[in-house]
Structures are given as C-alpha cells and as structure tokens.
Amino acid sequence: MKTELNFTDHDAFYERLIAAHHGLDEAQSAQLNARLLLLLANQVGDGAVLAECVDAARRLFGPYSPPEA
Amino acid sequence: MSDTALQPGGYILPEYEFTAPGDLTADEVRRYPVVIVGAGLSGLALACDLAERGVATVVLDDDNTIGVRGASSRGIVYAQKTLEMMDRLGIYERIRAKGVVWSVGKTLAGSEVVYEFDASSTSDSRQPPFINLQQFYLEWFMVDRVIEIGRTDLRWKSKVVGFETLADGARIEVETPAGRYVLEADWVCDCSGVNSFIRDCLRLDTHQARGIDRWCISDVRFKEPLPIERWTWVEAPFNDNRAVWQHLMADDVWRLDFQMGPETDIEHVSRPEVAAERVRRQLGEDVEFELVWVGPYSYRAQLIDNFRAGRTLFLGDSAHAMSPFGARGGNSGIQDADNLGWKLALVLSGRAPEALLDSYSAERRPAAQFNIMTTRRTARFLQPESPAEKLLRDAAISLAKEHPFARSLCNTGRLSNSYIYGQPPTSRAQRHKVRGVAVGEAVQNVPVGLPDGQAGTLVDLFRNGPAFVGIWSGALPALAAAVIRLANREAPVLRMLELGRAALGLSVLEDPAGKLGAALGAARGKPIFWLLRPDMHLAARIENPDAAKVSRALRGALHGRLQPERA
C-alpha cells in the first residue's frame, strides 16, 4: 500500500470528488461512494494491497475479524 | 422397473424390498471388510466404485427407497468431474438420456441480465460442463448399477442404532423390520448425511454454523417454452426483490427456488396455495402450471476436523455440509467417493499401506473447506446482513450494467470445478501460467485412440481395477528393457502406455485430435512421463524420466504423496 502521495494532481481530484456529490442526498452520496470504491478497487487489483487498504480504513474503529480464507 | 418417476402431484419413487439378512439368525457376529452406512449420493457412488474395482460391500440404509421419502428433486446440477466418474461407473449414458445438458448461465437483477457465461467453451471432455437431473434419478441409476455388478449387499430398512469402535474396525447394531442384529466391519464408510449418528457417537465436532438463509423449493411443470439455461435473479421483482433460481430438470419439470426473508415462517410459505401464487407471479396469469413438489430448505455449514477416525471414514454431508450453491453439495460427496474408492481398494488388497487413507482426508477436507468458503461468499452476496452490505451490493449491480469487471462481483454461485489436490487455493488463480494440468489436478476426459485401435476417451483406461495409468512421451528407446521390467513388476497397480509413438515396446495411446497432449502439456521431442491416479488426478509429472524415477513416483503415490511440481 502506498502511503506517500501518488496523485498526479491531488487538489484537482478532491475538488472533482466533492463536485460529484453536489446535489445528491445522503443515500445517493453513499451510493456514489460505493460505486467509486468498487471502480477504484478494480484499478488497484492486487489483493494484498487491497487488504491493506481495507485494514487501514478500518483502523479508526478498532479491530475486526477478516474472513477465513 | 419403470423409468418414469413423475406422476401428477408428485414423484413416485421405486421401493426396494427388505430381505432378512443371515446375520439375524447366525450364531456368531459376522464380519465384513467394508460397510457403507447410507445409500445416498456418496454412499452409492462409493459402493458402485468399489464394486467396479472388485470389492464387495454391505450397504445399510434406513429407508427402502432412493431420494428422501416424498421429497423433491434436491441436488439437481451434476458437474463434469462427477459425470466423468459416472462414465467410468457405466451409468453416464442413462444420465445423459434422462437429464438436461446446459452450459449457459445468466444472472439477472430486475429484468436486466447483468452477467452471462457459457461454460462449454473451455471443455474438451466427453462430458458437458453440467447436466441437470433430479437427485433421486442419479441414485436410482447407481442402485441399478450395483445390482447389475452384483458385489454389493444392499440392505434396505436397516437403521444403525449402535456403534462401537474396535481396534481393527467397528461393531454396528442394526435395527430392521425383522429385529436387531450386530455386525462387525474392518472399515466403515459413513455416508449417512448431515445428521450422522456414527459421527455423533464418536463425538466429533462439526463446527456448525447455521445460515439465516431460507429458501422455498418448488418443482413445477408447465408448457411455456423457456430457454434451457441457468437463470439466477439476485433481485427478482416477482419475489419481493429476493433471489430466485430457474433451472430445467428431467421430465420437463422446472426447479424454481425462491429466497425467503430471514424471519419468514417457512412452513407457511411452503403451503401449496402460497407457493402457487408465487409461481403465478413469476410465470404470468395465463401460463398453466402444475406444482410437482414444494418444500422449505434452510442452509447450514459444518465440517469435521478429520474425515478419517481410525477405521471409520466420513464422506459427503456427514463430513461436510454447505449451502448448495454452484453444484458443490452432492457433487462434493460423489467426489469424496471418487477419491476414496481406489485408495480403499488398494489398501484392502494389500498393495498400499493404510497411510494412503490419510491422504483421503488431507485432500478432500481442503476441497470441502474451499466449497464452504465459496458458498459462504455467495450466500452473503444474496443475503446482505446490514445496510452497508446492501449498499455495496447495489453498487456492484448498478456497475455491472455498465462495466464488465463488476459483472464478476455479482455472485449467484461459483460453479464447481474439480479440486486441485495438494495446492493452496490461492495458487489456483495463477494456474494459467503452467502448461498442461498441474500435479494434483484432474485431467479431463478427452478423446484418445485406445491401444486396441478403438476410438475412446481417457476414462476408458480407468475402467475396472485399482490401476494407475502411466503415460510416456518422447522416451528414449535405450530405456526399453528397464521400463518393460518395471511394467511387468507393477502390472497389478500400474498400466503404462506410450503417447503417439512406440519407442519402448509398450501399448500405444493415440492422440489424433491432440487433446490429450494439450491437456497434459506434452512438448515435442521432450521426454516426459505422467502418472495418473485412478481418479484421473495427476500424481506426478517427470521430465527426462527413467524406470527408477517412475518407480519412486509410484511408491510415493501409493503412500498418498503427490510429486511436487517441477521447478
């Protein structure tokens, strides 16, 4: 998992992400995020990297038990 | 015996007579080499396999018919590896004639197809990827076959009510309409299903996890022509946006499975009038139909720690149970029998050590674990357990309508392939890099020219007897004398052939279509030897082989070892 900056233009990405949520209600925003998540995950592809990202995102909320492989 | 099981209003199953065995009146307890408990898919497959190999067995079943009395189609999809075994056992033609061949599957959400596959494109086997058939038909054919072979003592209405482990076997108490008796067995094969009495006598932990999934299964006959394809709805508008399965079986009966809510009163929704209303919503008001059978089904997962406990071996649901998505339920029980039959036959004949039987659990338990993991993922996709899970599923379905990658995420069952023994499932994803089958993987039933000049398929080399098949390719004639000596010495367990060209003086296996060479990963001019086990899984692949290397690989295989993949 990359933890150093990897965007070609991070400010532009963030601005565009916010713009995409414009005019959506809470449920629609959640749906947009979920769609975006799956699209991005497919760009990453690598299972080990994705697992690290999932774990890193979860860290804020304490441990969880990953499914048995 | 009639070959039509379908009558209006339900299935009529054959009934088999109870015959009082001599054990009831014998002065002494009789002892048998192999006793199989349970005449379901795995028990009958094992009895049939052992009979083909010349091994007599006693089969105890508490009922006097196949299927479950009054019950439905149950297991309906038989996968290629299962069908190949049935070819070896001599009942494939009946399955093919009675069943429904299909290869196209579609996943729908609402009225849209979000995912579609055609499994026929990847297959060179004589058998199609799948045939649908009501489970009792397959059991029926196997009963007929073991009767025909004549080595199996089928004891109906014989319920196991007592079980005691002995140092060299077990003592079993059997209850029959004519009273109780005790018999002893050198080996017990418990195929008695998910509520196994023997397993519970031995206090083996099943690590049970009960699913929240509830289904209502409906066998329905109607005239409306529908495509002979597997259709699965993730969200069916006619079933309150829950999942629905639609599959054709024998006798023009459709199998419609309706997913129910976790809180559903399953008995209520299985009432004929309630079920009929659901079917009407699916088919439309003007389609006439007839309910053949309706019943509830709830899923669970369980797995014992070792499929062998001394002289007792566990097969099928008594060893492992899972949600039956993707042809992984009955098929896995049958494939347990495919794995165990030849091993038990070799041990009984003294040609292999008992240790070979440990490889049964070592190979089949990971296969069961893999099935449990795979079906758990399907179940979870079909039954989101939280709003967050539902959100992710909605995202996957909506993306699937636009982008190919997301179609694969819509999981309505991952159809089973035969398991690759000895490898962690993670390495299976990288398998396409290796040329030909991997060690531990099954070779498909490809067309070959048999040594007698007849056109046949690979299975034909494995009929009768517990023999391995060794195939030489590109061998140097200088090895001939040593190879022929080896062939003569190992004849009872190993049959050796040459691929395409005679250099050693062995019988020649022709490969006119090049399918076998492609399946094995043969390379022109490169000397290679393949050792195929009696279940058609590859035991060893030896480059630059000689008689000593082949002999070592065979010894290893007789101890249940697979030769590690070449560097």
Partner residue opposite B395 with nearest CB, options A31, A68, A69: A31
CA B355, B357, B361, B364 dihedral sign is positive
On whether both B38 and B165 belong to a single domain, the answer is yes
Tell me: pLDDT of B94 over 90: yes
- Report the helix count and the strand count for chain B, using DSSP H and E: 15, 28
Tell me: pLDDT of B178 over 90: yes
- Which residues on chain A are in Cβ contact (under 8 Å) with B406? 38, 42
Q: Are A69 and B426 in contact (CB under 8 A)?
A: yes
Contact A35 B399 (CB under 8 A): yes
Q: Are B378 and B412 in contact (CB under 8 A)?
A: yes
- Please report which confidence band the pLDDT of residue B277 belongs to, taking 50, 70 and 90 as the band edges: very high
Domain boundary among B331, B356, B371: B371
Average pLDDT, rounded, for chain B: 92
Element (H, E) at B118: strand B112-118
Among the listed residues B367, B314, B357, B372, the one whose alpha carbon sits nearest the alpha carbon of residue B43: B314
- Which residues on chain A are in Cβ contact (under 8 Å) with B394? 31, 34
* pLDDT of the residue at A2: 95
Residues B519-564 pLDDT 10s = 999 998 899 999 999 999 999 999 999 999 999 999 999 999 998 7
Rounded-to-integer distance, Cα B140 and Cα B154, Å: 13
On whether both B296 and B306 belong to a single domain, the answer is no
The CATH number covering residue B219 comes to: 3.30.9.10
Average pLDDT over residues B29-45: 98
C-alpha distances (whole Å) from B359 to each of B340, B367, B470, B478 are 9, 12, 20, 36
Number of domains making up chain B: 4
Rounded-to-integer distance, Cα B435 and Cα B520, Å: 8
Q: Is residue B437 included in any domain, yes or no?
A: no
Among the listed residues B31, B22, B28, B16, the one whose alpha carbon sits nearest the alpha carbon of residue B62: B16
* pLDDT of the residue at B431: 54
**B319 three-class SS:** coil
Q: Higher confidence at residue B444 or residue B297?
A: B444
Residue of B392, B408, B426, B427 for testing the chain A interface, max A β-carbons within 10 Å: B392
* pLDDT of the residue at B119: 84
Terminal-to-terminal C-alpha distance of chain A: 20
Rounded-to-integer distance, Cα B20 and Cα B171, Å: 19
Q: What angle do CA B350, B356, B357 make, to 5 degrees?
A: 100
- Which residues on chain A are in Cβ contact (under 8 Å) with B391? 30-31, 34
Residues 393-412 of B with CB under 8 A from A: 394-396, 398-399, 403, 405-406, 409
Average pLDDT over residues B334-346: 97
- Please report which confidence band the pLDDT of residue B428 belongs to, taking 50, 70 and 90 as the band edges: low
Average pLDDT over residues B409-437: 77
* pLDDT of the residue at B3: 47
- Spatial CB neighbours of A64, under 8 Å, sequence gap ≥ 6: A58
Average pLDDT over residues B81-109: 96
**What is the edge-to-edge ordering of all strands in the sheet holding B230-236?**
B112-118, B104-109, B230-236, B242-248, B253-260, B209-222, B289-303, B320-321
Q: Is residue B146 included in any domain, yes or no?
A: yes
On whether both B364 and B384 belong to a single domain, the answer is no
**B496 three-class SS:** strand
On whether both B350 and B225 belong to a single domain, the answer is no
Q: Is residue B261 included in any domain, yes or no?
A: yes
Residues B361-415 pLDDT 10s = 999 999 999 999 999 999 999 999 899 999 999 999 999 989 999 999 999 988 8
Residue of B207, B380, B389, B391 for testing the chain A interface, max A β-carbons within 10 Å: B391
Domain ranges of chain A: 24-61
- Please report which confidence band the pLDDT of residue B2 belongs to, taking 50, 70 and 90 as the band edges: very low
Q: Is residue B521 included in any domain, yes or no?
A: yes
Closest-approach residue (CA) in chain A for B409: A38
C-alpha distances (whole Å) from B46 to each of B15, B34, B341 are 21, 11, 6
- Give the domain extent around B539: 447-558
On whether both B344 and B485 belong to a single domain, the answer is no
Which residues of A lie inside 8 Å of B (Cβ-Cβ)? 30-31, 34-35, 37-39, 42, 67-69
Q: What is the ipTM of this complex?
A: 0.96
Contact A34 B373 (CB under 8 A): no
Tokens encoding B136:
């009792």
Rounded-to-integer distance, Cα B326 and Cα B374, Å: 9
DSSP string, B140-157: HHHHHHHHHHT-EEEE-S
On whether both B294 and B306 belong to a single domain, the answer is no
Residues B191-231 pLDDT 10s = 999 999 999 999 999 999 877 788 999 999 987 788 899 99
Tell me: pLDDT of B567 over 50: no
CA A30 to chain B, closest CA, distance in angstroms equals 8
Partner residue opposite A38 with nearest CB, options B373, B399, B425: B399
pLDDT cut 90: percent of chain B above it: 76
On whether both B53 and B176 belong to a single domain, the answer is yes
How many other C-beta atoms are found inside a 10 Å radius of the C-beta of residue B59?
Answer: 24
Q: Is residue B358 included in any domain, yes or no?
A: yes
Q: Is residue B114 included in any domain, yes or no?
A: no
On whether both B138 and B192 belong to a single domain, the answer is yes
Give the up-direction half-sphere exposure of residue B500: CA atoms within 13 A in the CB hemisphere.
17
On whether both B359 and B315 belong to a single domain, the answer is yes
Tokens encoding B217:
């299964």
C-alpha distances (whole Å) from B459 to each of B214, B443, B447, B472 are 39, 10, 9, 18
On whether both B249 and B328 belong to a single domain, the answer is no
Contact B406 A69 (CB under 8 A): no
Q: Supply the Cα-derived Rg of chain B in whole angstroms.
A: 24
Residue of A24, A28, A32, A35 for testing the chain B interface, max B β-carbons within 10 Å: A35
Q: Is residue B7 included in any domain, yes or no?
A: no
Tell me: pLDDT of B435 over 80: no
DSSP string, B274-315: HHHHHHHHHH-TT--EEEEEEEEEEEEEEE-S-SEETTEEE-
pLDDT cut 70: percent of chain B above it: 95
Q: Are B106 and B9 in contact (CB under 8 A)?
A: no
On whether both B290 and B166 belong to a single domain, the answer is no
Among the listed residues B139, B101, B67, the one whose alpha carbon sits nearest the alpha carbon of residue B292: B67
Q: Supply the Cα-derived Rg of chain A in whole angstroms.
A: 14
Q: Are B183 and B276 in contact (CB under 8 A)?
A: no
* pLDDT of the residue at B34: 98
Contact A39 B399 (CB under 8 A): yes
* pLDDT of the residue at B9: 60
On whether both B126 and B182 belong to a single domain, the answer is yes
- Please report which confidence band the pLDDT of residue B433 belongs to, taking 50, 70 and 90 as the band edges: low
Burial of residue B71, with CB atoms counted within 10 A of its CB: 0-12 exposed, 13-18 middle, 19 or more buried: middle
Residues A4-40 pLDDT 10s = 999 999 999 999 999 999 999 999 999 999 999 999 9
**B47 three-class SS:** helix
Tell me: pLDDT of B122 over 60: yes
* pLDDT of the residue at B223: 79
Contact B392 A31 (CB under 8 A): no
Q: Is residue B126 included in any domain, yes or no?
A: yes
Domain boundary among B241, B265, B300: B300
Q: Are B475 and B466 in contact (CB under 8 A)?
A: no
